[in-house]
Amino acid sequence: MSDLFGRVRCCFSHMDLCPLAEFRLFDFNTVIGKKGCHKSLYDWQPFFFCDMIMVIQKKTCRSFFMIGNKCPYRLSIIIFIFFFSFLLVTLFVQTGKIEKFDLSIIHFVQGFETPLLTSIMLFFTKIGSFPIVTLLFLLISLFLYFVFHHRSELVLFAVVIAGTLVINRLLKEYFERVRPDIHRLIEIGGYSFPSGHAMTAFSVYTILAFLFWRHISTRFGRIMLLIFSALFIFMIGISRIYLGVHYPSDILGGYFVSGMWCTLAIGFFQKYKNRNHAKD
């Protein structure tokens, strides 16, 4: 019995926790070939436990973004959902069928107006502004480079943020939707659809959640990471409606475009990482 548990520990010792952002897969034949893990018929128990752990690892590694090499169709499905949702919102915006929905949400959100809530919303809308996003990008980039020594992750972060800004500018110039003029609490120029704050918030905090996920080992820490990211994405978006500078459909359109863009960028990033691991 002690020999059995010794061999189980042997198999455990040769298997790391699989980081989410790397999707490393383990080959059963490789594991049982490790020193001390014998292949005789009488030693089937350690191999059974090793195999179970590898299956759990494979499933766990794909449980968040679900875009591993073995499941490329899932990546396409996620992109298609975001793309179709954006097209649907765009169709409603151009035909004016979403106007009633927009106005009802604006009146509902602005119905909670108080001096304190206005200060809170101004805080969140400033977090999503270009100067703050630029500062956040520089700080996170330094952290990724000098602390984690992640050059490829830094490139992913930079490409996503830069791409978000370019895509937003192109879409705004194409649709030329005028901002709402109902009850503005701040003045701002430019077009309305899709919301630049919503797109930037979604891209920044989604990529940060993706990059920091594998560096947080506890379930509580990961849950807090997701809650923090979702909270900032939601609050930055709702602040633009509260302040009267965006329609709700602008916010939804921004979320959908950034969701599609982030998924596509993460997919290419994973493919690049997996290819490098395969070469190693």
Structure confidence by residue, pLDDT tens digits, 191-240: 999 999 999 999 999 999 998 888 888 999 999 999 999 999 999 999 99
Mean of all residue pLDDT scores within the chain: 78
Q: What is the pLDDT of residue 146?
A: 82
**Per-position DSSP letters for 143-190, written without gaps between them:** HHHHTS--HHHHHHHHHHHHHHHHHHHHHHHHH-PPPP-SS-SS---S
Do 64 and 18 meet the contact criterion of CB atoms below 8 Å apart?
Answer: no
Query: Between these two residues, 44 and 116, which has the higher pLDDT value?
Result: 116
pLDDT of 56 over the 80 cut: no
pLDDT of 1 over the 60 cut: no
pLDDT in tens, 10-26: 443 443 333 333 333 33
Of residues 197, 166, 172, 199, the one with CA closest to residue 82: 199
pLDDT of 104 over the 90 cut: yes
Q: What is the pLDDT of residue 103?
A: 94
pLDDT of 261 over the 90 cut: yes
Q: What is the pLDDT of residue 215?
A: 83
pLDDT of 37 over the 80 cut: no
Q: What is the pLDDT of residue 277?
A: 66
Do 4 and 49 meet the contact criterion of CB atoms below 8 Å apart?
Answer: no
Of residues 174, 228, 188, 183, the one with CA closest to residue 206: 228
Q: Which residues of 157-176 are buried (b: 16+ CB within 10 A; e: fewer)?
A: beebbebbbebbeebbeebe
pLDDT in tens, 154-178: 889 999 999 999 999 999 999 999 9
Helix (H, G, I), strand (E, B) or coil at 254: helix
Whether omega before 194 lies within 30 degrees of 0, making that bond cis, reads yes
Q: What is the pLDDT of residue 109?
A: 95
pLDDT in tens, 62-86: 444 444 444 567 888 999 999 999 9
- Compute CA distances 156 → 67, 205, 246, whole Å: 16, 13, 29
